[in-house]
Structure 1
């Protein structure tokens, strides 16, 4: 077998990688040039391989540990590693996951330079935030419009309340003069979507609680953190720091991660959290369903496309003027 360098593991584009893992009660280690996780059984120990070349994010939950050698290989393969509480959700606060990003001085420079070309201009930064909000609704319309399983559960855009909420959202987004206006408009739309999802799945007395009190809230928290993992991976690959948010607060840790994750949360995480709660699914079943839908609807590709377009629009605009 031909030898290869660990850097060869990066040949699979992050936007095309298939795996996102959540592990608990195990030990992650390097063995024979592979990254494995070890689970302890009564009679014997069991080793399972992690295909790091085809993995974007590794979440380590309760009862986990990881060796330095394993971290080195994960970094070489460009896998993001996060320590979380149970089910991929932090124990205390919604923004407490700390992403351990692989270090590389050879990430592209064009995207961070493009991002900086507009970020310090309040008007331009607001315009990018508005673009993200419009793309978010376009993606929701596309996913809910073609996903047969969602349609079978009643998640369509023909509902008059949804149509009215989307129209109001679009108008208020266009009229917004500051990022706080966008956050308020977003909260109002999400409230309508929660109510709609609760009604069609028969979830009584639902109230969004980040300190979860029921399965729907548990699954929303869990699914959101999977989306945060994809967003963090997108930004790391493109070389854009998490602090340069366009909508969430400038001083909030990881704010740009939340901006990017919002592109897909309403379309995929929200409906499936309620559906899986109605079906009394386990966390593993919910996680598998969400990851499959991320793949089916090319969520990671969509994130990459939106961030790259925002970062390069100033450059493309100047090139048009030069012509």
Structure 2
């Protein structure tokens, strides 16, 4: 086990990996060729194995420490490690998770090269942003139309307000002339989604506040950072640096992570945050529900496919004209 090579640990494709872990009040270490975490009870110390070859992201919360040997093995397996605040919600100086990305000089090069072909052109970069926004809406409609638990909660994709919001979103996105326009259009859609889902789940007075402590807001923060972890993992595997955003600005740290995470946040995190808040679920119960939903709806697969499609396409002048640019 001590002689495992990085290739031995990456037999499971990142897009097919099942696990994200959040740990707190424990020590992560390497022992006998495995990565374990140690919890200290009053009468005994307990070791638990982390299946790193089937893990995408490891979040370390309050009261955690990690050894150099464990970090080496996590890096070999291509696991992203992030330090966060309690409950999985990073509030370090009100910034995003500080992701520690594994070092590898042998990641794919074609996706970064394809991304850079369009990224320096304002028109083509806007077209890529529109493509991601269209994919985001398509994914949301697909998830909400097939998820039985959403239907059981009364979340109706054919609700008049939703259909109107979707039509407006598509029309305005097609006519948008800047990333700022797209961000405003996105915010307007999300506002409608918040209102519809909050009313459906009996949260009529809900107000989105990142610093609020009510369950719905806390779960939204928590779930969003889980989505950021998946997005960061996707971009690391494809070799695309976080700075090459298409919507969230050229200077915002980690901006492309937010672009990619937006593909799944409204579809999965938003409804489950309100459902779990209504059921007075714990953070752990909410986290387990969201992670299972990521798996059920193949969220990581969808991220990979969407980013690959944008990176490898070459937008011709005719395509740009057809997209209203």
TM-score by length of 1: 0.96
1:35 aligns to what SS in structure 2?
A: strand
Cα distance per residue 1:254-300 (max 9 Å; x no partner): 00000000000000000000000000000000000000000000000
The size of the alignment, in residue pairs, is 317
2:307 is aligned to 307
Q: Is the 8 A contact 2:85 2:91 kept in 1?
A: yes
Q: Give me the whole-angstrom Cα distance separating, in 2, the residues matched to 1:302 and 1:284.
A: 25
Q: Give me the whole-angstrom Cα distance separating, in 2, the residues matched to 1:294 and 1:17.
A: 11
Q: Is the 8 A contact 1:231 1:303 kept in 2?
A: yes
1:274 is aligned to 274
Alignment gaps of 5+ in structure 1: 319-323
Cα distance per residue 1:104-139 (max 9 Å; x no partner): 000010000000000000000000100100000000
Moved more, 54-63 or 205-214: 205-214
Cα distance per residue 1:131-176 (max 9 Å; x no partner): 1000000000000000111111111211101111111110110000
Q: Is the 8 A contact 1:19 1:56 kept in 2?
A: yes
Alignment gaps of 5+ in structure 2: 318-325
Structure 1 runs of 4+ with >2 Å offset? 1-7, 91-96
Moved more, 84-93 or 140-149: 84-93
Q: Give me the whole-angstrom Cα distance separating, in 2, the residues matched to 1:93 and 1:118.
A: 34
Q: How far off its partner does 1:314 sit?
A: 1.6
Mapping 1:135-284, distance limit 5 Å: 135-284=135-284
1:67 is aligned to 67
2:55 is aligned to 55
Q: Is the 8 A contact 1:26 1:63 kept in 2?
A: yes
2:126 aligns to what SS in structure 1?
A: helix
TM-score by length of 2: 0.95
Mapping 1:117-132, distance limit 5 Å: 117-132=117-132
Q: Do structure 1's residue 29 and structure 2's residue 29 form an aligned pair?
A: yes
2:96 is aligned to 96
**Cα separation, partners in 2 of 1:93 and 1:165, compared to 1, 3 Å:** farther
Q: How far off its partner does 1:60 sit?
A: 0.2
Q: Give me the whole-angstrom Cα distance separating, in 2, the residues matched to 1:117 and 1:74.
A: 32
State the superposition RMSD in angstroms: 1.5
